[in-house]
Amino acid sequence: MQRSNPLLMTLFWILLSLATLFPVYWLFVISVKPSVDLFTTPSIILDNIYWKNYAKVLTDDTLRRYMINSLIISSGNALLVTTLAFMACYALSRYDLAGKENIFFWTITNRMAPAAVFLLPFFLLFTQVFAIGDFKLYDTRIGMILLYCTFNLPFAIWTLRPTIDGIPRELDEAATVDGASTWQVIREVVFPLARPGLAVTLILTWVFAWNEFLLAATLTSFNARTITTGLSEYVTSTGTEWGMMASIAIITLIPALIVFTVVQRHIVAGLTFGAVKE
């Protein structure tokens, strides 16, 4: 199709891009309109820009706290999960473990169950089992970081393993012959070659943790509450503040876009890693 009619292919991608970006545009339009205008004029038309919704959000100390919590929890979970997944994939790839394929498949089955299945067990663990004296996991950042490992770590292992398998074992053996220890092989040989795959794993797990709502809404109350749960606070018995919700949603898109922009080159390399065989 691309070779026969480049113009048609270009038109197709333009239409696809417009369809993808239209919801974001609509969300932005809602965020810059007062509540009265949302019900008096078509909501997709951008006429008068009303920035007070953003001003209210950015000056709200509670929402700033939620944003900081989201950044800390998402970043901490992504780094922890990527590190653990890297070590697990190295072991599955380099060592002849008995039943390692079954272990590998078992890890991804933990990701197949919906999060709602784990709500009650985790709630009891956080509020009773791991609540001894001053130590607790409920409504704490460290608790949420560890909690998200349950869902993100299996996915990270599944995503990262093809990258580790694509690195020839001969490189490990050559480094070992030269006197390198196992940790030196991992640090000096495997890690640099696995950076594209690590970048993909890092950004995907970061986004999953950043967007998560159900577990954060159930297992936090104030101290570790995230920005996604802050959206629900604008749905009240007296009505829904659509402008405020839309402005928060737009703000939550910005960190994800920044992260994607920074690691974009590594993401492209990671997605194509091993696609060409010599």
Q: Which residues contact 148 (CB under 8 A, 6 or more apart)?
A: 73, 77, 81, 208, 209, 212, 215
What type of residue sits at position 30? Answer: I
For 236, list phi and psi in degrees, rounded to 5: -120, 175
Answer for the pair 75, 206: CB distance below 8 angstroms, yes or no. Answer: yes
Taking the C-alpha atoms of residue 36 and residue 193, their distance in angstroms, rounded to an integer, is: 56
What type of residue sits at position 8? Answer: L
List b or e across 30-40, with b for residues whose CB sees 16 or more CB atoms inside 10 angstroms: bbbbebebeee
Q: Where are the alpha helices (DSSP H) in 32-140?
A: 35-38, 52-58, 61-94, 100-112, 119-124
H/E stretch holding 273: none
Per residue of the chain (278 residues), give pLDDT as tens: 455 577 888 888 899 999 988 988 888 988 888 877 777 766 677 777 888 888 888 888 888 899 999 999 999 999 999 999 999 999 888 887 777 778 888 888 877 878 888 888 888 888 887 777 667 888 899 999 999 998 899 999 988 988 888 888 888 888 888 888 888 888 888 998 888 888 889 988 998 999 899 999 999 988 899 988 888 888 877 778 888 888 888 888 888 888 777 777 666 555 555 444 44
- Taking only Cα atoms into account, the Rg of the chain, rounded to an integer number of angstroms, comes to 23
HEC readout, 247-261: HHHHHHHHHHHHHHH
Sign of CA dihedral 123, 124, 130, 136: positive
Give this prediction's pTM.
Answer: 0.83
SS3 (DSSP) at 132: strand
What type of residue sits at position 35? Answer: S
Report the residue count for the chain. 278
SS3 (DSSP) at 240: strand
Answer for the pair 92, 154: CB distance below 8 angstroms, yes or no. Answer: no
Q: Domains along the chain?
A: 1-50 (no CATH), 53-271 (1.10.3720.10)
SS3 (DSSP) at 212: coil
pLDDT digits (tens, 9 = 90+) for 109-150: 877 878 888 888 888 888 887 777 667 888 899 999 999 998
pLDDT of residue 3: 58
Answer for the pair 267, 203: CB distance below 8 angstroms, yes or no. Answer: yes
